[in-house]
């Protein structure tokens, strides 16, 4: 029996003009804006969805905390999320709680009871995409998560639909506003990491637990989602190499400037092809030297930008607000309209596509380039000695720049592309060489 014939999964639609009942889980920065905009623009949303969108309730952990809010005034607050989800007049559940374990339970309960789900929860989607997709498929309902990657920037939809007829080779960009704000401020002011972090905290860019942002985990979750969509392969956050920005110094920024680069925390997802034609997928997050001539170099403050490279379409760039209540609510509301239309008129949005099932590349096999900053002995023959170390590991040098210091020399090296494992082994060998007094920093390059 086909899916269209199976009454448990086929969605014929409620009919034009039918109301769509919506449950909102979470009433923080995003949830409050979603409710406000839904109520303020109710007529427009009814026309776009094909029927009125009626909010049945807003689930929170502590009702008293939200006394006097819009949700309270409308009599929508409840602390019983499970009962709200199970109501017969709820067709669509919007999850904007955050976290993984508790939201996972609620989202799975919603999907399994035949409710479509819209979520902004990147950590949840990155960690449990398979389980969520299977539950949605079994029930014949939608799972939307545009807001999980870059808030208002539409990139999930284009990857799922607009570029479905193309072959994507690479997705890369800035997907975390907090780290971009910090690195941009360090670049423009010359301040050190600690001072700029404190300013970002004062301005409200930093979460109560900043580690997800500054250690790269937030970007890694988004990279997993982007790689899964782009390469039709299931990629989880555990498959993503992750390195944050906490070790980036003002000296690193200064050296990058002098060489014509800026430093950005990039998520890079690539389709790799080896010499035998075998394909694999690489997804990684790390500080990256980007040429100042590259469009990503000009992405400032807390903005995000994502590049997509495809065989037929070429290079595409998506740019805009990647965080905040209103931008994230915009993406959530777009998904609400799409899921509601399917409830009214029937059918489903594109679901998970993992037909390619490509292997995840070993990070050591990923091709990359390094910028290495080191202090070395200031004597004849040092450069030749170090060049031999690079050559022994099969590493070709693109540029070498030396700066004189009082009792040593500073050597700044940019390599040609090589395997990550070979470059890493080279750095380890340099650090153990008597001629090298200190390896100050090692930063990868991209965008050339």
Binding site feature residues for L-homoserine:
207
Q: What are residue 116's DSSP bridge partners?
A: 92
Q: How far is it, in rounded angstroms, from Cα 27 to Cα 71?
A: 8
What are the two backbone dihedrals, phi and then psi, of residue 301, each rounded to the nearest 5 degrees?
A: 50, -135
The total number of residues written for the chain in this structure: 448
Q: How far is it, in rounded angstroms, from Cα 151 to Cα 54?
A: 24
Region class of 237: left (phi > 0), else alpha (psi between -120 and 50), else beta = alpha
Do 268 and 447 contact (CB within 8 A), yes or no? Answer: no
Q: How far is it, in rounded angstroms, from Cα 208 to Cα 217?
A: 15
222 is catalytic: yes
Do 36 and 58 contact (CB within 8 A), yes or no? Answer: no
Q: How far is it, in rounded angstroms, from Cα 429 to Cα 448?
A: 27
- Terminal-residue alpha carbon distance, the chain: 52
Q: What angle do CA 293, 296, 298 make, to 5 degrees?
A: 70
Catalytic residue among 170, 222, 264, 343: 222
What are the two backbone dihedrals, phi and then psi, of residue 5, each rounded to the nearest 5 degrees?
A: -95, -15
Q: What are residue 58's DSSP bridge partners?
A: 24, 77
Q: What strand order describes the sheet that includes 116-119?
A: 77-78, 53-59, 20-25, 92-95, 116-119, 143-144
Q: How far is it, in rounded angstroms, from Cα 266 to Cα 240?
A: 12
Going by the annotation, the residues of the binding site are: 25-32, 122, 207
Q: Tokens 């709820």 — which residue?
A: 90
Cα-to-chain-centroid distance, residue 10: 32
Going by the annotation, the residues of the binding site for NADPH are: 122
As annotated, the active-site residues are 222
């Amino acid at each position: 029996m086909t899916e269209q014939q199976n009454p448990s999964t086929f969605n014929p639609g409620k009919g034009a003009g039918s109301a769509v009942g919506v449950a909102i889980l979470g009433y923080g920065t995003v949830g409050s804006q979603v409710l406000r905009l839904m109520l303020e623009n109710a007529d427009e949303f009814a026309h776009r969805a094909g029927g009125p969108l009626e909010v049945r309730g807003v689930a929170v952990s502590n009702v008293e905390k939200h006394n006097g809010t819009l949700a309270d005034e409308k009599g929508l607050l409840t602390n019983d999320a499970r009962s709200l989800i199970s109501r017969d007049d709820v067709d669509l559940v919007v999850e904007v709680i955050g976290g993984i374990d508790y939201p996972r339970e609620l989202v799975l309960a919603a999907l399994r009871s035949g409710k479509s789900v819209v979520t902004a929860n990147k950590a949840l989607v990155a960690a449990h995409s398979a389980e969520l997709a299977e539950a949605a498929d079994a029930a014949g309902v939608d799972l939307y998560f545009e807001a999980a990657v870059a808030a208002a920037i539409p990139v999930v939809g284009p990857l799922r639909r607009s570029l479905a007829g193309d072959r994507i080779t690479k997705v890369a960009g800035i997907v975390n506003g907090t780290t971009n704000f910090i690195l941009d401020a360090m670049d423009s002011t010359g301040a050190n990491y600690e001072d700029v972090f404190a300013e970002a905290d004062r301005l409200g860019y930093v979460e109560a637990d900043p580690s997800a942002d500054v250690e790269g985990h937030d970007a890694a979750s988004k990279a997993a989602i982007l790689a899964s969509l782009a390469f039709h392969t299931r990629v989880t956050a555990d498959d993503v190499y992750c390195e944050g920005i906490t070790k980036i110094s003002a000296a690193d920024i200064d050296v990058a400037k002098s060489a014509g680069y800026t430093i950005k925390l990039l998520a890079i997802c690539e389709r790799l092809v080896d010499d035998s034609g075998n394909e694999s997928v690489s997804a990684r997050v790390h500080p990256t030297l980007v040429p100042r001539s590259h469009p990503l170099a000009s992405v400032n403050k807390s903005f995000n930008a994502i590049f997509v490279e495809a065989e037929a379409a070429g290079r595409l760039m998506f740019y805009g607000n990647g965080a905040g209540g209103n931008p994230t609510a915009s993406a959530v509301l777009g998904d609400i309209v799409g899921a509601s239309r399917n409830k009214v008129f029937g059918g489903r949005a594109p679901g998970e596509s993992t037909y390619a099932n490509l292997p995840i590349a070993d990070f050591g096999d990923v091709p990359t380039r390094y910028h290495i900053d080191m202090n070395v002995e200031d004597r004849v023959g040092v450069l030749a000695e170090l060049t031999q170390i690079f050559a022994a590991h099969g590493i070709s040098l693109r540029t070498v720049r030396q700066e004189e210091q009082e009792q040593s020399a500073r050597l700044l090296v940019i390599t040609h592309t090589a395997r990550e494992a070979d470059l890493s082994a080279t750095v380890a060998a340099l650090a153990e060489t008597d001629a090298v007094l200190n390896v100050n920093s090692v930063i990868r390059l991209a965008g050339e």
